[in-house]
Amino acid sequence: MSKLVPPHGSSKLKPLLAPAEDRDAGLAGATELTPVPMTTREVSDILMFALGAYTPLDGFMGEADWRGSCVDMALANGTFWPIPVTLSASEELARQIEIGQEVALTDGETGRIMAVMTVNETYTPDKSIECESVYKTTDEAHPGVASVLRHGPVYLAGPVTVLDEGDFPEQFSDLYLSPAESRAVFEEKGWSRVAAFQTRNPMHRSHEHLAKIAIEICDGVMVHSLLGNLKPGDIPAEVRQEAISTLVEHYFVENTVVQSGYPLDMRYAGPREALLHALFRQNYGCSHLIVGRDHAGVGDYYGPFDAHHIFDEIPNDALITQPLKIDWTFWCDKCGTMASMRTCPHTADDRVLVSGSKLRKLLSEGGDVPDNFSRPEVLEVLRNYYQGLQEHEKVKVELKGHSAR
């Protein structure tokens, strides 16, 4: 019997990917169906369905589940779920679709058929409820709010069968583990307590410090890199993979780190997104999620440790996967090492706050990176990437919110 945490809300994983032998026929039949184009966020949700990362969902949410996840962080049946997973459409398209009709879900950018869905409900959501509940703001400058408002005014709901995972499995063959596959890796290693480390950056010294704290109290760490859409100026996944592999090779004990990736687009929902990250890491077999400063935040919309506090506000039985709440980490010149507010007695003048945004800014501008920001072997990988960029590919990195401190 497995010693890993069970899947969320279910006794077993629920991957919604059709069996390999059925996909070609399914795709051929889907060409005859009404196409529903998806945004990049919705495509990323389809991929999470395929993997079983969204267990126990069987498709895009109906109105009761949408409202429940927004307002109460729970589905209509009471299962904990902190962020709605929905499919949008224009009013014109929605009028053409009948209840019970099967439709083809396509990548809105390429037209590629990704899945089929039986539409069992259409509804017009009050998006102000979604924005205020999930993002704690209706400010259209917030990227998550802007995304909600850009999506179509009508939501379609129903069970999904995924027929195509796109290019991810081939493009990221070494990283693209499903929850079933990550669980198999952990089982093979004999791990039962596994911490997930969420990142969209190469790992700098602060990240390394967080991961090593987790290794002290768990059997190992899964470095789980975001493979979905990033913000302009972010470092591509393949470069991050090389940088993280280099760090692990030189500075971690062998067999304490598993490197993996997942295809979800960031929603920048701060505390709510931290809960979603813990939820699907439970499906991946992780007993803990490292939650540091400003987890999944953007700008000044959330406090630096709001993502810590929200775990204290949910029912005790909402999640099995628990947060590893780690305070602000930094390099302290007087301590001569990485430290946190809980371990360092010195002043701000002695501390160097390390962030991915600061590191990207220094590298993109060709500036000198202090030794206490990142390991030299990692910096070599990143400098090679930035030196290879053409002028039109360069993006000015601006420090905002907590990263500007």
Residues 6+ apart with CB under 8 A from 344: 330, 332, 335, 351
Provide the token pair at 181.
Answer: 């596959």
Provide the token pair at 218.
Answer: 């768990």
The DSSP output letter for 317 is: T
The DSSP output letter for 263 is: -
- Alpha-carbon distances of 144 from 64, 114, 132, 226, 398, rounded to whole Å: 22, 24, 11, 16, 19
Q: How many CA atoms are closer than 13 Å to the CA of 60, on its beta-carbon side?
A: 29
Report strand pairing: 351-352 vs 34-38: unpaired
Residues 6+ apart with CB under 8 A from 185: 177, 258
With CA atoms as reference, report the closest residue to 115 among 124, 128, 106.
106
Tell me if residue 114 falls in helix, strand or coil. Answer: strand
- How far apart, in whole angstroms, are the C-alpha atoms of residue 353 and residue 342? 15
Q: What is the CB neighbour count within 10 angstroms for residue 88?
A: 23
With CA atoms as reference, report the closest residue to 237 among 257, 256, 262.
262
Residue 58 contacts residue 14 (beta carbons within 8 Å):
yes
Is the omega angle on the peptide bond into residue 56 within 30 degrees of 0, that is, cis?
yes
The C-alpha angle 338, 342, 348, rounded to 5 degrees, equals: 65
Among all residues, which ones are annotated catalytic?
200-201
Provide the token pair at 325.
Answer: 């709440």
Torsion angles phi and psi, residue 251, rounded to 5: -130, 5
Which residues, listed in sequence order, are joined to residue 185 by a DSSP beta bridge? none
Provide the token pair at 382.
Answer: 């990143």
The DSSP output letter for 321 is: S
